Each structure stands twice: as C-alpha cells, then as structure tokens.
Structure 1
Amino acid sequence: MREKQVFAMNGFLAIFFILALLGGGAASFLVSESLVFPIIAVVVSALIASGIGMVQPNQAKVVIFFGNYLGTIRKSGLFFTVPLTIHSKVSLRVENFNSEKLKVNDIEGNPIEIAAVVVYKVIDSAKAKFDVEHYHKFIQIQSETAIRHVATKYAYDNFDDTDKITLRGNPDEISEELKRELEDRLQIAGIDVIETRLTHLAYATEIAHAMLQRQQAKAVLAARKEIVEGAVQMAKASINQLEADGAFELDDERKANMVNNLLVAIVSDRSAQPVINTGSLY
C-alpha cells in the first residue's frame, strides 16, 4: 500500500448545497404539495452528507469506499469527498513509546535489565492502516524485540580496558544502532523513528551485588597501581637527592632499607607508626 491523495473539496460548500436542496424541496412541497422533489432532495442531501467529514491538525483521514482504498486527506478543516465512504482517522502527531523493563542476557551471558523510549510518527497513513494490524501494538512488539536483539550483541560493561563498545559505556552508539534497527523493522508500517534512548540499564538483582564488588575491586586495583607508581618515583627521587647533597653515603643495603620503609609508609592505607632507635641501654 502507498498513501495517495483523494478528491476533496471545501465542506462548507457541500453544507450550503444541502441547505439549498432542502430549502428547495420544502418550497416545492408548499407550492405544489408534491412529495417527489422533496424526497429526491432529502435522498441527495443524505448522500452528500455521507461524504462530509472533518480533519484535525496533524491528523489524516483514510477514505474507504466499499472496501477500496481511495486515498488520504491530510489538509485540516471541513471537507467533502466521495459519498458513502468510511473516513478512518490516523494520527500524524509525534508519539512516545516507553518499553517495559526487559530482562535479557548480554553477550557475556550476564542477566541485565534494560528499557528504552522510542519517539516516532506516522508518515504513510495507508501502510499504518492496511499493512499491519493495529500499528501501535506492532510498534510495541517490534521495539521490545529490537531492544532485546541489540542488548544481546554487547557486554554491559568493559573490564578489560579495551575500546570495544558496551551498553553502559557507549549509550549514544547503542541508541543509534537501536534507531537504525527499528527503522528497518517499522518501515513496513509507514513509521518514521525520530529518536531512541535507553531509559534504564542495570544488572539483574541476582548478580547486581557481585558485579558491584567486581567494579569496586577494579577501582581499588587501579588506585593501588597509581599509588605504587608514585611511591616508587618518590623513593627514587629521595635517594638521588640524598646522594646529590653528599650529606652521607648509602650502601646498597641501606638504600634497600630506605626504599622499603618509604614504600611501606606511602603505599599503606594506614598511618605509619614512627619507631625511634635510641641505641642499646647496656
């Protein structure tokens, strides 16, 4: 099916013509007391009235004549088209669909919860009306199917410090891919996908605590790595400065002890306890 225009004219002219017919029929009855012309006037007026309708802004009326699609009227206002036709309304306004929280497995098999919002509008009223059964329900099912499909192609998060795309780390890329997939799926229904965005993304409750511990451990390891690297640089700089000043000489054993003490004091997550060596009492 393809949307096409149908014959339509100003509906107020049709109403004026109906009033003129009815007025002429009434006048004819009063003059001649004959019912022929009044009956014809009433029948013709009823036929004309069956072709009158109204279109709201951002709305379309699909015109059906005894099961045949004649065309679509998009111009808002009162109109007159082919009599004895059915005028089916199709909204052209921008609409939102908020999916439910879907529980799926990412590419690594971790159960996650995901949801998205889809912003769309009808651009072909004929496809939306005739090519699918209840296009709102069609959008809902296809959107949830696309969300599940995209979610299973990527990992929730990246623990390997690589540049691969993840659901949490690349929301814009995931939204764009979801939009492209929905456009392919909803094209048959004459739907234009304007935007898609993830509205909810989290690990499933049964593994959320374990994954949180994993993230915390990764953060602790990264922090410890930076602390150790800084401590090594500080110890190296301290020994070099002492040797450069020439205050005293350090052999290899004393250097090792100093480096050990400095690393313990800097790397430890607790305050260092100073120990004063006063020498032997005896």
Structure 2
Amino acid sequence: MTMTTPDIPDSPTPESPARESPVRESPAPGSPFPEAGRSVGGRSARVIRNAATTEIPVHLLFRDGPDPVPVRLSPVVVGRRQGTGEQPRLGRPVAERPRPLPPVDPELVERPARVLPGGAGVLAGACGAAGCVATSWWAGVLPPLVAGALGLPEHPGAAGLGPAQWAAYTAAGALGLFGFGGLARGRTGRAWVLGLFGRYRGTVRRTGLLWVNPLLLRRRVDVRLRHWRSEPMQAADHGGVALRVVVLVVWRVRDTARATLGIEDHETYVRECVEAALLRVPVEAPGAVRGSPDTVQDALTRLVAADATPVGIEVFAVRPVRVEYAPEVAAAMHRRRIAALDAQHRASVLTSVVDSVEDTVTRLTTRGLVELDDYERKVLVKDLTVAFCAGRGRRGRRPADPGAGKRNRFRYWYGHV
C-alpha cells in the first residue's frame, strides 16, 4: 500500500500567512557571512533574519562546546573555513619533550688556584720574626737573656719605642703572620676550594706543605672514591607493590667547584637523586625470577648519573643490595608466596605421578604381562595414581619395616590387575 502526499502550493493560502522566502541570489552588502545566501545543490542555506540583526546561519546556533584541552599532548590546530561553522581540525599530537637541565654557571668550573711552596711561607715567617727581634734590639727593649742567647751586644744608642720602631714592629709582625698563617698541608684524596668575598678563586689539589693566602676562605672537599650505603628507601615492583630497597652507591666528586658552590650539600643531593630514581625504576620483588641481574642496576646508574653530572659528581654504580617488602604488605605477600610455592609443589608432584603411572602401564602392556581393555586400563591407571599419591604423602614418615610399604603396594597393584 502506497501513501501519497499532496503537493503544497507555493502560493499563500488563507490558512497560512504569506512568508518571505529566505532564498537570496546575492548576499547583502556588508554582511559578515558572504556565503550565507549562496545555494548549495540547488537549495539555499537556511538563515534567521530580522530587521535589527544580520543574517545568522542556523547551524551556528547548535555548535558544540570548546574542545577539551589535552593534558600531555600538544595538538596542532590546522584551521577552519570562515563562516561555515566547521570545528577546528586537530593534527597529529606532538609529545612534550623532556625539560632540559638548567644551564651551569660558566664561572663554576674547577681551575687550579695560585699557591706557593711551603718553603716560601716559612721563609717569610722567619723574616718577620727576625725583624721583630731586630726592632726590639734597636729600641733597646730586648731582654738581656735573649740578647745573650743570640749573641747580640747592647745597642749603644737605644732611644726607646718611637714611631719608627712601632712601624717596624707592624711591618715585621704582618710579614710573620702572613708567612706562618698561610701554611697548609695538602693531603692525598683531599682538595681545598678557595674563595674570597664570595667569589671562587680556584681549587688546590696539590699535596705536601703549601702556602695559601690566609685571606682566602678554605673549604675542604673529599675527592676520593666513596661508597655510600643507604637506609631502606621506598620503591615498587612491576606490579606496583611497595618495597624497601637498600642501595650501594659508588661515586666521587669530579668538579669541586660545582659540587661545593653549585649546591648546598652534595651528599644530600646524591641521596635525593637515588630516591627519585627508585621511584621511577621498578625493582624486582624478593624471590622473583630475574631476566637480567644488571637491568635494574644499569637503569638506576644511568638516571642518577644524569642528575649528578651537572653538579660535578661522577656516579659509577647504583646497586640494590637488599630488597624486601614494605611492612604494610609483607604479611600478605608472604602468604601469597607460600601459596604459590605450594601450588608449584603440587603441580610438580602431580606431573611426576602421571609420568610414573604412564611408564608403569606402558611397560606392563608392551612386555605382554597383562592384556587390558579400555575399562581395565582406566581402573589400573586410577589405582596406580592413588597408590603413588598415597606413597608420596607417607614419604616423610619413617615406617617400622622399610620393605612393608613396597610389598603391600605391589600386592595391591597385582591384586587389581
């Protein structure tokens, strides 16, 4: 059955008032939508128009909300055609690049400091002391005992302490203080970081007796190869189970200027770098089968070395030496591990029993000792399985007669056969 719809005449009827057709051959001058009046496929675009507003395409009223802002991916906006209501097309998202490390201050680069041999300081101090003695003899205030010990006669024209004598005392005392006050002893594996009024003046790595300007501030740094064993730190395995890991870090200070002046405390910085690396690298749980024992160590060493290199610290190895479950999950994981071991033991026992039953039945049939049909074979397999399982269950017990169990077992088998 076909239903027909009567044609609706284009002319207005008394029931329907006359409406102005929205079809326009050309857009109004100054319209912000030049494509609104154009016809598409022989039909004109539908618009809303009144006397006070301009023409607005109908589909612009039903646009979707703004696109959600992505969290980690930066979309590339291709663009849209003006006046069509087309949503902006998103190109292929580009992953955010890792942030680079902050630049290193070019002044914080280790360089050798200017120092003198220790003999120069001893000589200067001796000259200052000799100048003080000579000034005292000149002023006539040198004690007779000291003068006799030094073999100096009494000065004939001693005039006492005057401005000239005080000036000589000052110069000789300053020379002696600078000479003896700048003496330092350099040790193997230790270095001095020198600074003057907050400015880096160099590093001393020399050993032996040295003379360093006494006005410089000295900071001793240990540059030997060092081993640091951490306290239990937080970590996680591949399944997200909380762990406690103790690591052994092998490191040393390579650039004393950056390690001392670039950060507040380089030992604390190394510890924090290790903690951050443990939160990023999954550690193998206790008792897990490890594919490669050096995988976790290489990953931890690479991450810690990348964070410690800009501050002048060289990291050679970060080795997990002890891994255990966190206290809050230790009991549950212990029960889980025991259950897994029990299931593995049961599976191995069942496999060995099945192999033994199969071997026994095969030997009995191939040697022609018995002839069994399907039903008898099933009964024999069942009885042998029960017997083997019962024998393995009593294996841990010590029977009174060692051969009694075996004789009874064979009697049971051949009685059923």
Normalised TM-score (structure 2):
0.57
Q: Which amino acid aligns with 2:121?
A: A
- Residue of structure 2 in register with 1:270 after alignment: 393
Q: 1:23 aligns with which of 121, 130, 141?
A: 130
**Aligned in 2, Cα 1:267/1:29: closer, same or farther, shift over 3 Å?**
same
**Aligned in 2, Cα 1:2/1:217: closer, same or farther, shift over 3 Å?**
same
- Residue of structure 2 in register with 1:201 after alignment: 323
Q: Which amino acid aligns with 2:362?
A: N
- Provide the alpha-carbon RMSD of the alignment: 2.9
Q: CA deviation at 1:154?
A: 4.6
Q: CA deviation at 1:98?
A: 2.9
Q: CA deviation at 1:242?
A: 1.8
**Aligned in 2, Cα 1:239/1:106: closer, same or farther, shift over 3 Å?**
closer
Normalised TM-score (structure 1):
0.82
- Residue of structure 1 in register with 2:354 after alignment: 232
In terms of fraction of residues, the more helix-rich structure is: 1
Q: Which amino acid aligns with 1:200?
A: R
Mind listing any 5+ residue stretches in structure 2 that lack a counterpart?
1-107, 140-157, 159-163, 395-404
**Which stretch shows the higher mean deviation, 46-55 or 63-72?**
46-55
Mind listing any 5+ residue stretches in structure 1 that lack a counterpart?
none
Partner Cα separation in structure 2 for residue 175 and residue 247 of structure 1: 61
**Aligned in 2, Cα 1:240/1:143: closer, same or farther, shift over 3 Å?**
closer
- Residue of structure 2 in register with 1:11 after alignment: 118
1:61 aligned onto 2:192: yes
**Aligned in 2, Cα 1:270/1:145: closer, same or farther, shift over 3 Å?**
same
- Residue of structure 1 in register with 2:370 after alignment: 248
Q: Number of residue pairs matched?
A: 269
* Percent of residue pairs identical: 24
* SS at 2:252 equivalent: strand
- Residue of structure 2 in register with 1:76 after alignment: 207
Q: Which amino acid aligns with 1:223?
A: H
State the structure with bigger RCO (CA 8 A, min sep 6), 1 or 2.
Answer: 1
Q: Is the 8 A contact 1:8 1:80 kept in 2?
A: yes
Residues 140-179 of structure 1 aligned to structure 2 (within 5 Å) = 140-150=271-281, 153-154=282-283, 156=285, 171-179=293-301
- Residue of structure 1 in register with 2:266 after alignment: 135
Partner Cα separation in structure 1 for residue 228 and residue 287 of structure 2: 29
Q: CA deviation at 1:83?
A: 5.0
Q: CA deviation at 1:131?
A: 0.5
**Which stretch shows the higher mean deviation, 97-106 or 184-193?**
97-106
Q: Is the 8 A contact 1:5 1:71 kept in 2?
A: yes
Q: CA deviation at 1:124?
A: 1.2
Q: Is the 8 A contact 2:125 2:178 kept in 1?
A: no
Partner Cα separation in structure 2 for residue 40 and residue 51 of structure 1: 17
